[in-house]
Structure 1
Amino acid sequence: MQLSHSVRAVFDETNLVSCAGLVPALALAEQAGWSEHLEGLSVPSPNAAAKATCVVAGMLAGADSIDDLDLLRHGAMTRLFKGVRAPSTLGTFLRSFTHGHVQQLDAAGAHLLAGLARNLPALLTGGGPDGVVFLDVDDTIREVHGYAKQGASYGYSRVRGLNLQLATLSTPAAAPVIARARLRRGSVASATGAGRMLAQAITTAKAAGASGQLLCRADSAYYGWAFVGTALRHGAWFSVTARANASINRAITSIQESVWTPIKYPHAVWDEDEQRWISDAEVAEVPYVAFTSRRKPEHVECRLVVRRVKRLQPATPDGSQQGELLPAWRYHAFVTNSTLSTIEADQRHREHAIIEQVIAELKDGPLAHLPSGSYPANAAWAALAVTAFNIARTAAVAAAMSTARWATLRRRIINVPARIASRARHFVLHLPDQWPWQHAWTTLSAAATGPPIPLTS
């Protein structure tokens, strides 16, 4: 492809917008009561709801810093949307937050998710009374630079940053949405506040219509009574990777060789320890009592499910890899109280890694940076990023693109240019002819704003 003519650029079109997909996306949020949920936001800043929506809209369009929010002020955006604010105003708004205001924003986001799921049940399809809903908890470090970031420090990853803990909801047929999230100081332990986070996420899940069996999953950092006890109190299943200790090792040793069941993965699994792909393993289980060092009412009778993978001999000096000479295994164990079969329990537990997809999408979007030196401002930014993620996920489902990542949604649906024309007291968006994803855009628009108004000649 090459230019067919010489081109001269002039920035003078007042009826053009570059991100027309914000119209149906924000309409979905308004249908779910976003503005009403923000009425309880008591941050000392006028028009707080409009400013919060500006930040969310900028994130939906690809902003990952406060300066990037200026992309909302162009062309006919002020005709399409009321209350568009300058980045300096939005930065001042974020810096006016306190910890209590951030919690109000978290609650508003949880109510919005419930409204989105109520209006679009396909968001959590398969989570009905006969289904199963996965609630995954994990945390990640968002690296920051400079010494003006409040709360930034070195944590378990040996990277200086802030810690984001989050809980996601998904089903076997639905991609994950974020139930709850919390920004924390960088040096915090992963499991700190795990019980409270899980309890809030379970409440949000039920409000969002997740009436099926909840399965709460986490890695070994959350292996403890706080997480497991919270799941039990709420009548949920748990599936948590067990930490290697003497008790776990004795339980694994007690497993008879005859009970190991070979399994074949439909798709190869990447093994971080040996840096190779594996496609087969063996699983077994044994009854186990967890947390016996605590008082007796907190002892948990459960199942210890173990997966073992053959360990290959190390590479030879010439770089080749020889086969195994003596039997050697690596063991991966987790505790669960589910009634799933051993093989299915192992499969479902390994699917906990889906939360990493959500973390990657956040870091590829608004959490590419934590833009302020103020810790509460960054916490508010993270809370609004969660809201933007859930709106984007809902928009993808409404557009019949349920497997699309956020970046894909931005390219195909959100960041689509359009020219505005007025006709019969209505705005008409003229979008590009032969846009490859026209059907997805119109499907989303119909779900958010109703069928397009027919044009009359």
Structure 2
Amino acid sequence: MQLSHTRPVVSATFDEPNLVSAAGLIPLMALARKAGLRELADERMSVPTDKGANAGLKLSSLVAGMAAGADSIDDMALLRHGGMGKVFTGAYAPSTLGSFLRSFTFGHVRQADAVASRFLLNLAEHTELLGPDDARGTVMVDIDDTIIEVHGYQKQGAAFGYSGVRGLNALLATVSTDQSAPVIAAQRLRKGSVGSPRGAARLATDTLALIRRSQLTGRDVLVRADSAFYSHALVVAVLSASAQVSITVRMDAAVKRAITTIAEDAWTTIKYTDAIYDETTSTWISKAQVAEIPFTAFTSKRKTDQVPGRLIVRRIPDLNPKTNQGQETLFDTWRFHAFFTTTAPEELDTVAADQTHRRHAIIENVHADLKASALAHLPSGVFNANAAWLVCAVMAFNLTRAAASLTTTPALARAATATLRRKLINVPARIATSARRLRLHLPTNWPWEQAWSALYQDVLPARAPAT
């Protein structure tokens, strides 16, 4: 593609009052209204009236701006261009939204958490955000934290954490099934130097309580996490909520002793990186192997507090380039990766349990998605304002996922936020008025017209079809 020489651009002026750059916000915020976002915020938020009047409209404005690509308070100005005022009301100035966020206390952030959880449940009622109602299978809850890098010295709570990066720590819990992509069920913003497991038990309890209030209730739930979250408090909290755990363990002395008791003939070769399937023997040719052994966790505690389960170990060769210099090793050396699970062997055998646990990495995609969207920056120097910003970012994330599930396009239902924004939200349109009705004129030959129209007709069925 190159610039046309037959029709050169003569001039460019910003003088069209009827254009909008994000027409996809119309069906998106219609879905948010259907799920009661404004009413939930007005009912549950008690921000002081001098800063928090119309809390529902301000929270909705923040969510809309993030869905359209805003990653700072100043970016919220994109809600006030062209013909946006003809289709939306309550699009506040960035300075007003910034003052609103800075007025939050810790209690107000927890109120916003309550709004986010109820908003998620309402979205699931109107869409297949959590999968079809008649779906079966295990519900996966993944817990992990990530460091959001910040710059400058006036960010409250910023510190150097375990990654060596100066920032704030965001703890997330996602829910996913075989039929649905991950959605964020709970979130916390913490200071940068906090330990990963801090508050994880409470976060897991909140997530499991949300699952019991959704259409997922009654299904088996498995909570997955890495070794940073291997703690008695988290495991007991999950088991008390009638769920199971699958958590990577640290290679301490007890785990190492247990691994040495595994018989050599107990190891099973599995499909792993660069594995080759041998059709003659119907086996995988791979150097990765798994085995399991009964294991009791937290034996340092009294007997009633110990947790029985299984220790599943995966071993792969320790490929040290230096060993190839000179004489070859006389025997293989291995690297071991072990995790503790309370699932029964009848539910998940050794190989299936290992595969299921490794899929915990799906939460890293959620972290990357948020950091490529609203969490590219934490915009305020005030910690509680940034905590509220995180909650709004989560609601925008879940809202775009819910909208994608209405497009009847499976690929979009699992797409990243940037893809959904490019195909469904940031669609330019011209607004025309006829007989006191607004009509959107969208680009011809828009590649994703069918998906956009399916979303529009689902949330605005009584209106005239988009043209």
Sort the TM-score into its range (normalised by shorter chain). over 0.9
Change (3 A) 1:411 1:279: farther
Q: Higher mean Cα deviation, 442-451 or 370-379? A: 442-451
- In structure 1, what is the Cα distance between the partners aligned to 2:329 and 2:126? 56
Which residue of the other structure, out of 138, 144, 155, is the alignment partner of 2:150?
144
* 1:19 corresponds to 2:19: no
Instruction: Tell me by how many angstroms 1:266 deviates.
Output: 7.9
- In structure 2, what is the Cα distance between the partners aligned to 1:377 and 1:404? 29
Structure 2 residue runs without a partner (length 5+): 276-284
- In structure 2, what is the Cα distance between the partners aligned to 1:127 and 1:240? 29
Instruction: Tell me by how many angstroms 1:402 deviates.
Output: 1.1
Instruction: Tell me by how many angstroms 1:298 deviates.
Output: 1.2
**Contact in 2 for aligned 1:144/1:161 (Cα 8 Å):** yes
Instruction: Tell me by how many angstroms 1:128 deviates.
Output: 5.5
Alignment partner, residue 33 of structure 2: 30
**Contact in 1 for aligned 2:297/2:309 (Cα 8 Å):** yes
- In structure 1, what is the Cα distance between the partners aligned to 2:365 and 2:211? 19
- In structure 1, what is the Cα distance between the partners aligned to 2:60 and 2:462? 24
Change (3 A) 1:265 1:451: farther
1:48-197 correspondence runs (5 A): 48-120=55-127, 122-125=128-131, 130-197=136-203
Q: Secondary structure at the match of 1:124?
A: coil
Q: Higher mean Cα deviation, 441-450 or 359-368? A: 441-450
How many residue pairs get matched? Answer: 444
Which residue of the other structure, out of 358, 374, 382, is the alignment partner of 1:366?
374
Alignment partner, residue 54 of structure 2: 47
Alignment partner, residue 421 of structure 2: 410
Change (3 A) 1:323 1:71: farther
**Contact in 2 for aligned 1:313/1:322 (Cα 8 Å):** no
- In structure 2, what is the Cα distance between the partners aligned to 1:158 and 1:357? 21
Amino acid at match of 1:105: A
Alignment partner, residue 343 of structure 1: 351
Alignment partner, residue 280 of structure 2: none
- In structure 2, what is the Cα distance between the partners aligned to 1:64 and 1:144? 13
- In structure 1, what is the Cα distance between the partners aligned to 2:376 and 2:110? 22
Q: Secondary structure at the match of 1:289?
A: strand
Amino acid at match of 1:417: P
Instruction: Tell me by how many angstroms 1:454 deviates.
Output: 4.9
Amino acid at match of 2:382: S
Q: Secondary structure at the match of 2:271?
A: strand
**Contact in 1 for aligned 2:142/2:224 (Cα 8 Å):** yes
Instruction: Tell me by how many angstroms 1:131 deviates.
Output: 1.4
* 1:386 corresponds to 2:394: yes
- In structure 2, what is the Cα distance between the partners aligned to 1:55 and 1:377? 12
**Contact in 1 for aligned 2:457/2:465 (Cα 8 Å):** no
Alignment partner, residue 282 of structure 2: none
**Contact in 2 for aligned 1:312/1:323 (Cα 8 Å):** no
Q: Secondary structure at the match of 2:95?
A: helix
Alignment partner, residue 294 of structure 2: 287
Structure 1 residue runs without a partner (length 5+): 269-277
Q: Secondary structure at the match of 1:265?
A: coil
Alignment partner, residue 357 of structure 1: 365
Amino acid at match of 1:123: L
Q: Deviations over 1:246-298 (max 9, x none)?
A: 11011111111111111113877xxxxxxxxx965111110010001112221
- In structure 1, what is the Cα distance between the partners aligned to 2:466 and 2:94? 37
Normalising by structure 2, we get a TM-score of 0.91
- In structure 2, what is the Cα distance between the partners aligned to 1:13 and 1:176? 40
Q: Deviations over 1:319-353 (max 9, x none)?
A: xx998752111111001111311111100100000
- In structure 2, what is the Cα distance between the partners aligned to 1:455 and 1:166? 37
Amino acid at match of 2:404: A
Amino acid at match of 1:355: I
* 1:431 corresponds to 2:442: yes
Q: Higher mean Cα deviation, 26-35 or 420-429? A: 420-429
Q: Secondary structure at the match of 2:288?
A: strand
Instruction: Tell me by how many angstroms 1:455 deviates.
Output: 8.6
Which residue of the other structure, out of 337, 350, 372, is the alignment partner of 1:332?
337
Amino acid at match of 1:362: L
Alignment partner, residue 316 of structure 2: 309
- In structure 2, what is the Cα distance between the partners aligned to 1:442 and 1:280? 50
- In structure 1, what is the Cα distance between the partners aligned to 2:324 and 2:142? 42
- In structure 1, what is the Cα distance between the partners aligned to 2:30 and 2:379? 27
- In structure 1, what is the Cα distance between the partners aligned to 2:364 and 2:159? 22
Q: Secondary structure at the match of 1:42?
A: coil
Change (3 A) 1:324 1:78: farther
Normalising by structure 1, we get a TM-score of 0.93
Instruction: Tell me by how many angstroms 1:3 deviates.
Output: 2.5
> RMSD over aligned Cα, in angstroms?
2.1
Q: Deviations over 1:48-99 (max 9, x none)?
A: 1111111111100100001111111101101110001111111111101111
Q: Deviations over 1:86-113 (max 9, x none)?
A: 1111111110111100100011000010
Change (3 A) 1:280 1:385: farther
**Contact in 2 for aligned 1:113/1:208 (Cα 8 Å):** no
- In structure 2, what is the Cα distance between the partners aligned to 1:323 and 1:444? 62
Change (3 A) 1:323 1:129: farther
- In structure 2, what is the Cα distance between the partners aligned to 1:384 and 1:323? 57
Q: Secondary structure at the match of 2:92?
A: coil
Change (3 A) 1:64 1:455: closer
**Contact in 2 for aligned 1:311/1:324 (Cα 8 Å):** no
